[in-house]
Each structure stands twice: as C-alpha cells, then as structure tokens.
Structure 1
Amino acid sequence: MRLWTALAMMGLASVAQAEVKTQTINYQSGDGTQLVGYYAYDDAIKGQRPGVLVLHEWWGLNDYAKGRARALAALGYSAMAVDMYGKGKNTEHPKDAMTFMMAAMKNSTAAAQRFDAGLAQLKKQPQTDPAKIAAIGYCFGGGVVLDAARRGEPLVGVVSFHGMLATKIPATPGSIKTKILVEHGNDDTMVTPDSVVAFKSEMDNAGVDYKFVGIDGAKHGFSNPDADRLGKGKDAPNIAYDKAADQSSWADMQAFLKKVFG
C-alpha cells in the first residue's frame, strides 16, 4: 500500500508540474511589418503535436485571442495567436478596430504575407508537427482563415467563428485543398443572409469539403464573453455573447480537429 501511495503521489506531482507554457514571439512579415505572436503549448506532452493558428477578431491580438491559444494548448495542440495588425496592437473602440482592419486588408498581398509569417513561426516551434497545421479565426480572423483556404494554403483544416464570408478571391474548382468548418450565428446582422447564400454557392461550385453550422438566436461575436460589454455604447456593433453557441461551436471545432488531424 505504501508503494502504491508513493507512486500515486509521484504521479500527482508530475501532473502538478505540467502546465500550459506561453511565450511572446517577435517576428516580421514579408511586407516588413513587425509582428508579435503569442505561443502556447502543454509541456506535459512530449514530442511534436498538431499546430493550430488563432486569428484574432477586428479588435486585434487581445487577451481573448490569447486565451483561445491557451485553451487549444490545454487540448494538446501547439497553438499560436498571430498578429495581423503589427506590434500586437489592439483596441476596444469600434472606430479604431475598423481602421485597423481596413488597413490590414487594404493590401491583400501584405495580409497574406502576415498570415504566412505567423504560419512559419508556428512551424518553427519544436513542439509543432509542421505537416499537421490548422487555423481558426474569429470575426475578421474568420475571414482571414477562409481566404487562406481559398489561396490554397497548406492547412489540413480551417474553422471560422462568426467570420466574414465575403471575399475578393472566390474559390474555384481545386483551389481549396483543406476542409472547412463555419460556425455562424443566424442572427448575425454584420454578415448578411445574401453573404451566406453566396458563400455556400461559392463552396458548392468549387467542390469544397465544408460544413456550415447556422446557430439560431446567435449574433455576431457569440463566442466572446466580452461581446456584451463591447457591444454597448455609441458606435458599438450589434454583437452579443451566447454561452450555448460558444460551447456548441467549440465542441464542433474539437470534433473537426480530431477528424482532420487523424
């Protein structure tokens, strides 16, 4: 009994020592922008594991995006929240967020280079299996990962949460080589019903392996607990947190990642 007790205590101590580790990664994109990524992994896992990029909302690389990276790390992935604005800047003001987003998307080549720079950094981490990379994105970031898929980026899967569906680079047959999951709020006024119809038509015509989940009652930003606060006041967007939608979409993502990573 004493031996088993001692072994159990050793096991508990090992679990206690294992934790999600995080670090800031400074890097540069092909367009010369100085970027700041946030990397997370569970040090209890030995060797390489699949990697997941996290693309932030239009607010920028904030604590919410970083929290999602840590949550993915806790699930056993090598996760990096990438910076699409430069110098890790973020805001809580809608006008500033719009300015940041428009500036980032003004040059599609530069936007692609920033995504690619984050992807390269994630692949460089010793914990990452560079052959197994997926990307998830929220709001603005959802549009970013969908466009990455449209460009034929070497990803095994992408997930968009209340993401922008419209694009300047629509998919063509064979252009998308990855599986796609879209989690969309059916009460999202920032993504029109016409955009939903156009997106599904685009995917169908291009022969894409995708799943579109429409969540009744969910508005834009449904996955972010801060959405209720950020959706108040003058110039605030029509966003709201929905706990049930958050939980169901996260569960869908977990099942999707397990499938695409094999």
Structure 2
Amino acid sequence: MRFACSLLLSLLSCVPALADIQTKWVDYTDGEVALQGFVAWDDNQASQPAPGILVVHQWMGLTDYEQTRCQQLAKLGYVAFALDIYGKGVRPADPQEAAQFSGKYKSDRALYRRRLNLGLEQLQAQAGVAPAKIAAIGYCFGGTGVLELARSGADIQGVVSFHGGLDSPDPQAGKNVKAKVLMCHGADDPFVPAEGVEALRAEFNAADVDWQLIEYSGTVHSFTQPMAGNDNSKGAAYNKSSDQRSWRAMRSFFSELFE
C-alpha cells in the first residue's frame, strides 16, 4: 500500500500544473472618452515575462468572442489584451449599426490608429509582458485594424489579420511598417475586392515589408466566427477547417517572431 501511494505521488509530481487562466477588465481613456479592455494570462507562468498579444475586435465591438480568444492565447503562454475601439459599454445593436460604428474609424484613420496605439500601451503596461515581444491579431474590422497599427509605425514584432479589409487607402503608409505581417484571407470573400489586395501588395512591396498572405479555398468572410453561420451565399460564414488552419498559421508565425 505504501509503495502504491509513493508511486501515485511520484506520478502526480511529474504532471505539469494545470493552467490557471486569470482575467480582468482594464479601464483607460482617450481624452474624455472612457474605454475598457480585457486581459487574460496564465498565472502559472507569471514568474517570467511572456510575449504580449493585442487583440482587436470585429465590428460588433469587444464581445465574448474576443474574451475567449484572449483566454485561448493565455493558455498558449501569452498575455493577451483585447482593446476597445468604440468606448466603454458602447456596442452596436445590429449589423447596420455596426457598419456605422466601424465606418467612422475606417474613414478617420488617424482616430483609428490612436485608439489602436492606446490599446497597445495598455498591453505593454500589463505585468509580466516582455516588452520586446509584442504582436497583434484582429478579426474583420480588427483585421483591418492590425494593418493600420502596423502602418502607424508601431514598434512591434508582428501582426496577424484574420479576414480583414485588404486594401491600400494610403500607398505611402507602408513605409512606416516595422512589423512582419501575416494575412489570413478567405479566397471567396466577396467583401475584399481583388484590386484592393493588389494595391496592398504593391504598397507593401514598395516598402519592403515582410508579409505573407494565405488564402483558404471555399472560404468567405468571417470564417473564424461561429456566430456567422454556415451559409457561404451570404458572403460571411464560419469555416471550421479554415479557422483551425489560420490559428495554426498564427502559432507558427508567433514561434518565428518570439524564438
């Protein structure tokens, strides 16, 4: 019996501690505008600095979806901070209102970049973040956002755009990009015109940006989001295979950035 107990204790001592994911809300401001972000980290890894990942939300604002992504990133050993572009408690009621909200920032890139960089500052201020190991990911509106963050000249290692807007509103902005860029794109996305993608290629190539574009066949917009449904004819739909492939591509990209 004593032998059996000793063996059990020995085996248990070899099992890694279970991930203890911690989360909290973080209040910050842009002038008089109140903003509220969400941060997640693994408490078991808090003893040493970890890479920080900024998460930029889709057009419905900071929702449960972004919070879940932050927790997934924390389980991988990162400190993940989901920023807030719209304002604390400000959330679109429906897609029509979301189009108005997101359109405000797409038409005012200076404001958009300021909110993005304020979120980046909050990530960098979090305990346990390695200051020289920072990346950003974003979905749809947020996928556009991480490209704008890079174009703002943010001193970070990389950005990952998931089904973001791929265009070139300012062809000279590519000269500001310091980060490596990964873009995960649905090959059949009707909301991203081919001419916009070609303009982005030209912008990034002219600026010698280190970029990658992965296109997933049979895949439309919002392919990482289950709430988009599964009807490709609507132009936005979840695709489990493309979701999983793009997440693996992100992980490989991060390994390259942070090793």
Both structures adopt the same fold (TM-score exceeding 0.5) = yes
Q: Determine if the alignment matches structure 1 residue 253 to structure 2 residue 241.
A: no
The one-letter code sitting in structure 1 at the alignment partner of 2:21 is V
Partner of 2:17: 15
Whether contact under 8 Å (2:38, 2:67) holds in the other structure is yes
RMSD: 2.1
Q: Note the C-alpha offset of 1:158.
A: 0.3
The one-letter code sitting in structure 2 at the alignment partner of 1:84 is I
After superposition, the Cα gap between the structure-2 partners of 1:240 and 1:132, relative to the gap in structure 1 and judged at 3 Å, is same
After superposition, the Cα gap between the structure-2 partners of 1:237 and 1:92, relative to the gap in structure 1 and judged at 3 Å, is farther
Q: Note the C-alpha offset of 1:10.
A: 5.1
Pairs within 5 Å for 1:236-251: 238-251=235-248
1:81-125 deviations in Å (ceiling 9; x for gaps): 111111143346110111111223343222222111111111111
After superposition, the Cα gap between the structure-2 partners of 1:189 and 1:173, relative to the gap in structure 1 and judged at 3 Å, is closer
In 2, the alpha carbon distance for the partners of 1:196 and 1:169 equals: 13
Partner of 2:32: 32
In 1, the alpha carbon distance for the partners of 2:149 and 2:174 equals: 15
Unaligned runs of 5+ in 2: none
Partner of 1:43: 43
Q: Note the C-alpha offset of 1:5.
A: 2.0
Whether contact under 8 Å (2:39, 2:70) holds in the other structure is yes
Unaligned runs of 5+ in 1: none
After superposition, the Cα gap between the structure-2 partners of 1:173 and 1:58, relative to the gap in structure 1 and judged at 3 Å, is closer
Paired residue secondary structure (1:44): helix
Q: Note the C-alpha offset of 1:127.
A: 1.6
Whether contact under 8 Å (1:171, 1:203) holds in the other structure is no
In 1, the alpha carbon distance for the partners of 2:94 and 2:182 equals: 29
In 2, the alpha carbon distance for the partners of 1:256 and 1:167 equals: 23
After superposition, the Cα gap between the structure-2 partners of 1:134 and 1:171, relative to the gap in structure 1 and judged at 3 Å, is farther
Whether contact under 8 Å (1:138, 1:160) holds in the other structure is yes
Q: Note the C-alpha offset of 1:201.
A: 1.6
Whether contact under 8 Å (2:25, 2:37) holds in the other structure is yes
The one-letter code sitting in structure 1 at the alignment partner of 2:35 is L
Q: Determine if the alignment matches structure 1 residue 180 to structure 2 residue 209.
A: no
Q: Note the C-alpha offset of 1:223.
A: 0.6
Instruction: Show structure 1 runs of 4+ deviating over 6 A.
Output: none
Partner of 1:72: 73
**Higher mean C-alpha deviation, range 178-187 or range 102-111:** 102-111
Partner of 2:60: 59
In 1, the alpha carbon distance for the partners of 2:183 and 2:73 equals: 18
Q: Note the C-alpha offset of 1:172.
A: 5.3
**Higher mean C-alpha deviation, range 66-75 or range 173-182:** 173-182
Whether contact under 8 Å (1:172, 1:205) holds in the other structure is no
Partner of 1:130: 131
After superposition, the Cα gap between the structure-2 partners of 1:106 and 1:88, relative to the gap in structure 1 and judged at 3 Å, is farther
Partner of 1:225: 226
In 2, the alpha carbon distance for the partners of 1:134 and 1:257 equals: 8
Whether contact under 8 Å (1:61, 1:88) holds in the other structure is no
Aligned residues: 255
